[in-house]
Every structure is written in C-alpha cells, then in structure tokens.
C-alpha cells in the first residue's frame, strides 16, 4: 500500500515529504570529504600548538634565532659601554650638567638617551669658586715648599708673602734682599705666561750680588696666587696688580729707584703698565726680554673665533693650540726643569687666556709710537714663540729718548735660561747701572760723585760758596744727566763753575 501524499496545509499543495527527505540526506561521498576536511583542520590546529620544548631547542630555526639574539645583545652592550664612556666637550659642571639614561620605547626596546641642562649662574659661580680654591691651595703649598738657591742668609735674605691686588685676589710674592750691601736699586719681576716667580731665583742672585733688591709677583692663576691654574680672565687685571704692587714696594723703600722687568707676556704687561703716566713716573726704566708684541696663533681661524669662544666658554682648553714641551731654551737641563715643574702650567691654553694675549699684543703694536718710558729690550733671533722683529719695531718707533736693544743671534725664547744666562744677566744689570748714572766698571756711584766734590773743594780751598753740600750734590746730579744719559763731565762741571775740577 502506497503512502498518501501529504499536503502543505492551507495551500493545499502536495509535498512529497518522504521523497524529499530522502534526497536531502548527505550522500556518502559528501560525508567522506567533510570528515577529511575536519581531520585536516584538526591536524593544522595541532601544528600551531607549542610542541615539546626539548625538540624546539634542538631545531635549526631556534638555534639561528638564539644566535642572532645573542649577537644583538653583545653588540648592544658594547655600544652602550662606549656611549657611557664617551667624553663630551663639556666634561665639567662649569658650563652645563649632562647625564645619560635609558628610555623604553613602544616595543619595549631600551633606547639610550642624553640630556644637557644649563647650569644656573649661582651654581656655576660656586663650582668655579670651589675648584679655584682647591687648585690655589695646592699650588700655594708647592710654592711655599720650593727650595731656592739662596739657602744662606749671609749672601741674601729671601722671603715669601701675599699681596692683595686691585680685585682683592691673594697674589703670591717673593723678595730677595742683599745682606752685605746697601740697596742701590730695586727690580720688580713680572714672569711670563704659565710660569712663576720662583723660576727667576738665579737671576735674583745676580742682582743681589750687585746691590739690587728683587721683588717678584705671581699673576692671577699662576704660581701660588689665587685663581684657576693657567687661566687669566683679563691681562688688564695683571697690569693693574703690577701698578699696585709697584706702588707698595715704592712706599716700603722710599727714595730707592725702581725698575720693572717683564718676560714674554709679562713684558707686554710691563710695557702697557708703563704707558700710564702714574706708573711711568715711579720707575727709572723697564727691561723686556722676548716681549709678546707679536705672536702667532696656532691656526689662523683661532684669531677669528677667539673673541666668540672667549665669551661663551672662557675656561675651555683649546687643545689644538697646545704646544707642550716646545723648545724655549738651548739648555736641555733648563727644558727638563721647566716642563717638570708642577707650578708651571703645561696643559692646553685656555680660550680666554689666549684671547687676552692676542688682545694686548694688538693694542701695544697699535700704540707703539706712544711709548716714552726708558727701556731695554732683548730678544733671541731664533725665538719661535714671540717675534724678534716686533722688538726691533719697538726700538725703531718708540718715542723714548733713552732706549736700547740687543738681539742675540740664534738664542731662543727664555733668554735667562739659555746657557749664556750669566752674560745676559750682566747686560741687564749694566744697563740699569748706566741708567742710574753709575760707572759701568762696577764701581760705586757715590765714589764717582765724591771724587768730583773733593776736587771742587780742593780748588775752592775748602770753601763752598752760596750752597750747602746737599744742594751742591743735587745740582751736580741734575747737570750730569740729560734725559737719563750722562753728559760730558767737562760740560757738567762748567755749569757749576768747576772746569778745573776734572
């Protein structure tokens, strides 16, 4: 019996339900393919799951990844160590404070960072002051311990002291005073760049043996004086301190003639100081050895950028201009003594100091014709630090009526430390005695004047008319000097009516 056809209800449509149901069931082929797909998907999913660790560590791909990672880490650590050790130009807190750190980015990578923060004026000033004080105390202790050649008080009495300059800086001073003879004159020594007063001990011994007292002062930032070693904020400060020191020495030694001596940059300082009338009138004359009237910068660009860097980073050490150990003497022992002296600054020149040298030398060459002070200039023709031709220009163009020059063929910069230092010292002392009107043979000047007085008294039969002896001697001295030059004795005595006295 056949099954009845079922209808769809209200539509009264006949639907072959069982027939369609049979047709709608999946075929065997379809189900087989479906289960194969499910199996493949399941296997693919299993492949994505982490497998046994031991097998993954031994796989070639993992080994390659671990090698790359290790190499990256080693390279990173090496570069990071180099970055940490890198010395930047600003390696102190004087200009700015800098630091390093790590920053972790969006992918958690460690990124190396640097920061530069300007130091406030107050902090910068305190840092400067602390470092300067520490440096000064160290150098002053060395200066006090320096053993000079004068260890016998029977020959010379020497001492050290502190002089407070125009800016209230404590400046280290030395003095050498002859014991066995009356002081006939005083020399004040202004040393050169980077050295100190103690180096002129041998020259001081020469001077004291001829009856001259010697005083020397260390610049600011030099020797045992205040300031950062090798740093000169302004050479005008040194000029002002020189004038103040001269005034004090004159007040302590009234009536004794004074001379100023300057070497190299110290010579430029002395020449500029003597250009001021109140200083010129206090000295009988000045002596200059290898004066820094014309100097060459280490590179042409230095002269151009020095004014800018002098304002921005005055204490910065310009390593390109460092000429440490250059020959300044033909005496090897003198070179060793200089460059092994802890009080001699041998580091790179500081920007402000170098600029100040260029500035003062330029000023002096522009005003060379205005020089009126009596002077003696000495220079070595083989000097490679300062130009000997500039000294010749000074002698030729200066307006001084009493001036002398001596060039030493083949000599280098530090004349008083050359093998012929004894001869050079004698040349200086002879000029000083000549300027004072003393006989160049080394005899006492008072004997010279007394001999004329005795002859006069003999001719006047012991009577001195219309004048006391003191007035007579003063008049005689004035007549026998013509702007520092000794006039002929016959003409001088004729002025006093003493033609028969000589």
pLDDT score of 418: 97
For residues 103 and 111, give the distance between their C-alpha atoms in angstroms, rounded to a whole number: 5
Q: Quick check: helix, strand or coil at residue 157?
A: strand
Contact 302, 310 (CB under 8 A): no
For residues 306 and 358, give the distance between their C-alpha atoms in angstroms, rounded to a whole number: 9
Handedness of CA 244, 250, 253, 259 (dihedral sign): positive
pLDDT score of 78: 85
pLDDT score of 66: 76
pLDDT score of 7: 53
pLDDT score of 70: 82
Q: Quick check: helix, strand or coil at residue 436?
A: helix
Contact 104, 110 (CB under 8 A): yes
In angstroms, the Cα distances linking 420 to 207, 387, 408, 412 are 16, 20, 10, 11
pLDDT score of 15: 53
For residues 265 and 353, give the distance between their C-alpha atoms in angstroms, rounded to a whole number: 11
Count of all residues that appear for the chain in the document: 502
Q: Which of 225, 29, 25, 261 is nearest to 137 (CA)?
A: 225
| CA atoms within a 13 Å half-sphere pointing along the CA-CB vector of 99 | 6
Contact 154, 199 (CB under 8 A): no
The pTM score is 0.64
Q: Quick check: helix, strand or coil at residue 104?
A: strand
pLDDT score of 442: 42
Burial (CB count within 10 angstroms: exposed 0-12, middle 13-18, buried 19+), residue 475: middle
> How many Cβ atoms sit within 10 Å of the Cβ of residue 83?
12
For residues 334 and 337, give the distance between their C-alpha atoms in angstroms, rounded to a whole number: 5
Q: Quick check: helix, strand or coil at residue 470?
A: helix
Q: Quick check: helix, strand or coil at residue 112?
A: strand
DSSP of 234-263, one letter per residue? -HHHHHHHHHHHHHHHHHHSTT--EEEEEE
- 96 Cβ partners below 8 Å, 6+ apart? 90, 116, 117, 118, 119
Burial (CB count within 10 angstroms: exposed 0-12, middle 13-18, buried 19+), residue 193: buried
pLDDT in tens, the chain (502 residues): 555 555 555 555 555 555 554 555 567 777 888 888 888 887 887 777 666 555 555 566 666 677 778 888 888 888 888 887 776 655 555 567 778 888 888 888 888 888 877 766 555 566 566 666 777 888 888 888 776 655 556 678 889 999 998 888 999 999 999 987 789 999 999 999 999 999 999 999 999 999 999 999 999 999 999 989 999 999 999 999 999 999 999 999 999 999 999 999 999 999 999 999 999 999 999 999 999 999 865 545 556 666 777 777 777 776 655 555 678 999 999 999 999 999 999 888 888 898 899 999 999 999 999 999 999 999 999 999 999 999 999 999 999 999 999 999 999 999 999 999 999 999 999 999 999 985 334 444 454 455 555 555 555 554 444 445 555 555 555 544 444 444 444 444 444 444 444 3
For residues 396 and 394, give the distance between their C-alpha atoms in angstroms, rounded to a whole number: 6
- 221 Cβ partners below 8 Å, 6+ apart? 227, 228, 229, 230, 231, 232, 353
- 112 Cβ partners below 8 Å, 6+ apart? 80, 83, 100, 102
pLDDT score of 280: 95
For residues 50 and 67, give the distance between their C-alpha atoms in angstroms, rounded to a whole number: 21
pLDDT score of 502: 38
Q: Are strands 170-178 and 156-164 parallel, antiparallel or unpaired?
A: antiparallel
Contact 379, 407 (CB under 8 A): yes
């Amino acid at each position: 019996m056949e099954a009845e056809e079922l209808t769809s209800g209200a539509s009264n449509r006949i639907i072959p339900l069982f027939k369609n149901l049979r047709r709608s069931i999946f075929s065997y082929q379809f189900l087989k393919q479906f289960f194969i797909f499910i199996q493949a998907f399941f296997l693919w999913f299993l492949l994505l799951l982490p497998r046994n660790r031991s097998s993954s560590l031994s796989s070639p791909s993992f080994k390659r990844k671990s090698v790359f990672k290790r190499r990256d880490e080693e390279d990173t650590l090496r570069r990071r160590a180099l970055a940490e050790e890198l010395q930047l130009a600003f390696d102190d807190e004087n200009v700015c404070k800098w630091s390093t750190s790590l920053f972790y980015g969006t992918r958690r990578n460690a990124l190396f960072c640097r920061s530069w923060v300007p130091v406030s004026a107050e902090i910068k000033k305190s840092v400067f002051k602390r470092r300067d004080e520490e440096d000064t105390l160290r150098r002053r202790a060395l200066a006090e311990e320096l053993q000079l050649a004068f260890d016998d008080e029977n020959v010379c009495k020497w001492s050290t002291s502190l002089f407070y300059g125009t800016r209230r800086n404590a400046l280290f001073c030395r003095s050498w005073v002859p014991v066995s003879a009356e002081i006939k004159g005083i020399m004040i020594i202004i040393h050169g760049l980077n050295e100190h007063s103690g180096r002129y001990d041998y020259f001081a011994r020469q001077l004291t043996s001829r009856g001259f007292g010697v005083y020397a002062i260390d610049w600011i930032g030099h020797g045992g004086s205040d300031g950062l070693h090798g740093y000169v904020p302004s050479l005008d400060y040194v000029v002002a301190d020189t004038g103040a020191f001269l005034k004090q020495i004159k007040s302590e030694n009234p009536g004794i003639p004074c001379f100023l001596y300057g070497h190299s940059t110290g010579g430029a300082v002395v020449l500029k100081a003597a250009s001021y009338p109140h200083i010129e009138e206090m000295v009988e004359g000045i002596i200059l050895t290898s004066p820094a009237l014309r100097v060459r910068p280490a590179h042409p660009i230095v002269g151009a950028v020095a004014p800018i860097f002098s304002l921005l980073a005055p204490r910065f050490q310009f390593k390109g201009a460092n000429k440490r150990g250059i020959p300044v003497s033909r005496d090897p022992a003198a070179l060793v003594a200089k460059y092994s002296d802890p009080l001699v600054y041998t580091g790179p020149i500081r920007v402000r100091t170098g600029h100040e040298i260029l500035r003062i030398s330029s000023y002096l060459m522009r005003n060379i014709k205005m020089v009126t002070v009596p002077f003696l200039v000495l220079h070595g023709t083989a000097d490679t630090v300062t130009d000997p031709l500039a000294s010749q220009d000074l002698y030729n163009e200066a307006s001084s009526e009493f001036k002398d020059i001596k060039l030493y063929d083949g000599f280098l910069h530090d004349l008083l430390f050359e093998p012929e230092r004894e001869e050079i010292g004698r040349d200086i002392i002879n000029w000083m005695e000549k300027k004072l009107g003393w006989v160049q043979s080394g005899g006492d000047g008072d004997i010279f004047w007394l001999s004329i007085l005795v002859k006069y008294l003999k001719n006047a039969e012991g009577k001195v008319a219309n004048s006391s002896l003191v007035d007579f001697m003063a008049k005689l001295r004035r007549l026998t000097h013509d702007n520092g030059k000794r006039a002929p004795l016959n003409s001088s005595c004729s002025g006093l009516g003493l033609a028969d006295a000589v």
